[in-house]
Structure 1
């Protein structure tokens, strides 16, 4: 069977962010799983315009192309003011058809809420793009510092569950798109 192409999208571009480390940590766990090809897409490496121009820029075309090639996504997001970063919304808006009929999972981080408010907001955005969001998430509590013991085991279980759901939906939707192109 052809491996599922999973893109791990790191959504924060702020200086001093921890999203790049959390994204790499998640990607390392995902790479240990058979049947996945994992690619990290770090928004900090893209010069996406703050206002979408009439004609796409080279950075916009490159980003949309990477989204198009992926068959499943994990969005790594912090929570800012009960929502997600503007850089992430801008990147999501660069692509449209490229997200359709593909599953999206979330790794969020923050204090106390572990970024779940951001995830709730993102579910609405991805639903509007005709993507399928999976139920379970991985939430990293930044107040805990480096997870150890029970917290580390819980995170590993959350990663496994998220990857189980993404693989099922990713393979199912890939077969569906091959049998019948998605059109809305």
Structure 2
């Protein structure tokens, strides 16, 4: 008898969770697929101190395609995807494509060690309190890792929740770079 009551409750919970996941961002696309242009949203102002103590503002990348990766040194999937992100960065850095990491809920020493170990050469904002994540609330990149591709107008064009492979990132990036 209890099993009969549990199954409908579970199905209702799954339906509500699915609906909630689709709400709020206008991101009417599957993960890794381009979001329709009319549904793309720009984050609010993004900028701050980098892991190495410099300063960066997303606005400085105006007119370029930008890959934004949310990561942390303690995140296993972040470690797994780091080589693919660095390889894609190196292949595209001369083609009006920029990469920006956002190190979330981490220590500066942990972040620096991660970047050294995995050879990450693109800049990363240091976001120990997760405040920069809120600027991207229209797509909710709260799970680590999350990778976003922003179009030349600074709007979120593609979202990869979870670890991303080079074989998934490269074609999605090529589609957004090809947009004019």
What is the TM-score with the length of structure 2 in the denominator?
Answer: 0.28
Report the TM-score when normalising by structure 1: 0.28
Higher relative contact order (CA 8 A, sep 6+): 2
Higher helix share: 1
* Structure ID, larger Rg: 2
